[in-house]
Structure 1
Amino acid sequence: MTAAHPFRAILLFNVGLMLFACMDTTNKYLAASFDVPMIAACRYGGHLLLMLAFFGPRRAREMVHTERTGLVWLRAICLCGSTMFVVLAFKRMPVAETSAIVFLTPILVALAAGPLLGETIGWRGWAGALLGFIGVVLIVRPGSGLDAVGVLYAMGCAVASATYNLLSRLLASTERTIALLFYTALVGTILFGGALPWYWADRVPTAFEALLLASLAVYGGLGHFLFTAAFREAPASVLSPISYLQLLWVSLLGWLVFDHIPDPVSLLGMAIIGASGVLVALKSRRGPVEEVA
């Protein structure tokens, strides 16, 4: 595949990364006042409503038709698990450090894709995995001040996200993208919406909080749309290494919103994780970028 408009693709991709960073920061802000099901139900419910409004009238059959329904639902459940773990991590840890640990996802995918999908790992994959491990050790080292339970939640998110992406690769040959997006929104709405009666906050959200809750669906939906548009303009080998700029965005937003700046050793660990991800991305110049948001 030849890149038609690589600079346009990079611009679209970076805006999408910024939107996902905004979603992470908003999740962190809301997690201080609301339980996970409340936040997640607004995200997935809003995403579902947007899909029904924009695609329902013309592409309803494409949205609901699947070939391997069980795996499609399992993939959606994994994304719900990823959302649950990351918001729980945000309750206990800064957004930048949490996001850095979650960015182990592409490395886990690369390692698991060998035995599960028959893909070749290669020296770049193993080197990236080793670098990623070193980066995480630097971030969660003794004396870093990070909450141990929060670290476990962030790692749980990485594992759930890796499973989600492995299933995405497995289903890519038989399922339409619009159907995969629809069922993630539907399953998330059912699971988190069904839990709301037990977790509904005692108070009604303020107008500002309601706006933030509604923005989650916009950030996620528009971010995925921009990602799709970017991959129409340039190959994955061009865009995959750039995905680690999201760590820069979340660090900047963490500073602006929460006045948190990672210490120098944690910044070094984040840079090492980013470098490991670039190695993994270059391992296979035809593979799709993994979703970690």
Structure 2
Amino acid sequence: MTTPMRDHAWTRAMPGVFVLLWSTGFIGAKYGLPYAEPFTFLVLRFVIVIILLGAVVGLCRARFPTDPKLWLHLAVSGLLVHAIYLGGVFAAIRLGVPSGLTALVAGLQPLLTAAVVGPLLGETVGPRQWGGLALGLVGVALVLSTRLTGVSFDGFGWDGMAFAVAALLGITGGTLYQKRFCTGMDLRTGTLIQYSAALAVTAPVALATETMSIQWTLPFILALGWLVLVLSLGAISLLMTLIRLGEAAKVASFFYLVPPMTALLAWLLFDEALTPVALAGMAATAVGVALVVRK
């Protein structure tokens, strides 16, 4: 039986755990994407998640929403967070946009969220928070600048950048929509509805635009398992919980920590360079997020 002290400790630890788990998604994609096309990869990932969640819902006898409006809201949130964000990131990289540039575009999310939370959710973003958001963006840019050094920008066009911007709008709109309309959902049945809606969109796209061929190698299987269990179930559940518990601008600021954490993981796993500029960017990002979330 959990105690209030343990519950409080877990609540305080959730942002850090979320950032760590979310950052591993880029590592998993690096392992898995060479063996499957992006939307085919997403379709397979969504199907397995839906099967696992369906089993959990059945065993726990979790109740589905009785309000048709909540079904609709959950479907919209799932389309934004899972289909548009993930599909946009994968398609942008597939079309030649460097992963660092894609991450930098998606890194605008906290600033975009802060700009619209007032009119949409009635939240106030003060001068200190705006300063923290700006500092965090500078830190992200410093971290990613080393990954873009020497990268040619001739290998992609506006279509690739359009997908990167779509990913930015998807994750921003999804977190705001989740906060506005879906905070009362059952995490099990609500997430099942969200992934089902995402599958209903990505499956036709994969059928129409890809061969849907998969190379069943060990790296692909391991990457798929990690993305399903750790990202699609673990990290997403943490994100939805954070959105329910916190202000939208503060939750969005945690995404600033993802590129630095990804760079750190890449240094540990792939021996990628970790320069003084990148380290300075990590420090700036951490200070920026601290300014945003400090009470």
CA–CA separation in structure 2 for the residues paired with 1:274 and 1:151 = 28
Question: How far apart are residue 173 of structure 1 and its match?
Answer: 5.3
Deviations 1:206-243 (A, max 9, x none): 244233223311012123446678999xx759x96777
Deviations 1:133-172 (A, max 9, x none): 434554459x734565577655542332111011011114
- 1:205 is the counterpart of 2:208: no
Residue identity opposite 2:126 in structure 1: G
Identify unmatched segments of 5+ residues in structure 2.
none
Q: Is the 8 A contact 1:36 1:84 kept in 2?
A: yes
Q: Partner residue of 1:288?
A: none
Deviations 1:104-156 (A, max 9, x none): 32332122101222221221232234324434554459x73456557765554
Number of equivalences:
279
Q: Compared with structure 1, are the counterparts of its residues 20 and 178 closer, same or farther at alpha carbon in structure 2 (3 Å cutoff)?
A: same
Question: How far apart are residue 58 of structure 1 and its match?
Answer: 3.9
Question: Which of 62, 80, 84 lines up with 1:81 in the alignment?
Answer: 84
Q: Compared with structure 1, are the counterparts of its residues 51 and 177 closer, same or farther at alpha carbon in structure 2 (3 Å cutoff)?
A: same
Output the TM-score relative to the length of structure 2: 0.74
CA–CA separation in structure 2 for the residues paired with 1:165 and 1:103 = 14
Q: Compared with structure 1, are the counterparts of its residues 281 and 162 closer, same or farther at alpha carbon in structure 2 (3 Å cutoff)?
A: farther
Note the 1:124-163 alignment, pairs <5 A.
Answer: 124-135=128-139, 138=142, 139=144, 144-146=149-151, 153-163=163-173
Question: How far apart are residue 281 of structure 1 and its match?
Answer: 2.6
Residue identity opposite 2:116 in structure 1: A
Q: Is the 8 A contact 1:89 1:154 kept in 2?
A: yes
CA–CA separation in structure 2 for the residues paired with 1:20 and 1:129 = 19
CA–CA separation in structure 1 for the residues paired with 2:123 and 2:214 = 50
Question: How far apart are residue 185 of structure 1 and its match?
Answer: 1.0
Q: Is the 8 A contact 1:75 1:167 kept in 2?
A: yes
Q: Compared with structure 1, are the counterparts of its residues 42 and 274 closer, same or farther at alpha carbon in structure 2 (3 Å cutoff)?
A: farther
Task: Decide which moves more: 33-42 or 8-17.
Answer: 8-17
Task: Decide which moves more: 176-185 or 162-171.
Answer: 176-185
User: For the aligned residues, what is the CA RMSD?
Assistant: 3.9
- 1:32 is the counterpart of 2:61: no
Q: Partner residue of 1:290?
A: none
Q: Partner residue of 1:289?
A: none
Question: Which of 51, 55, 58 lines up with 1:56 in the alignment?
Answer: 58
CA–CA separation in structure 2 for the residues paired with 1:147 and 1:156 = 22
Q: Partner residue of 2:229?
A: 218
* Structure 1 counterpart SS, 2:5: coil
Deviations 1:30-71 (A, max 9, x none): 223322112211222222111101113444532675434433
Residue identity opposite 1:30 in structure 2: G
Question: How far apart are residue 19 of structure 1 and its match?
Answer: 2.8
Q: Aligned residues: percent identity?
A: 22
- 1:4 is the counterpart of 2:9: no
Deviations 1:267-288 (A, max 9, x none): 4345434433333333xx5xxx
* Structure 2 counterpart SS, 1:21: helix
Output the TM-score relative to the length of structure 1: 0.74
Note the 1:1-293 alignment, pairs <5 A.
Answer: 4-5=5-6, 6-11=8-13, 14-59=16-61, 61-62=63-64, 66-79=68-81, 80-90=83-93, 99=103, 102-135=106-139, 138=142, 139=144, 144-146=149-151, 153-172=163-182, 175-198=185-208, 199-202=210-213, 204-220=215-231, 221-225=233-237, 236=246, 246-282=258-294, 285=295
Task: Decide which moves more: 268-277 or 187-196.
Answer: 268-277
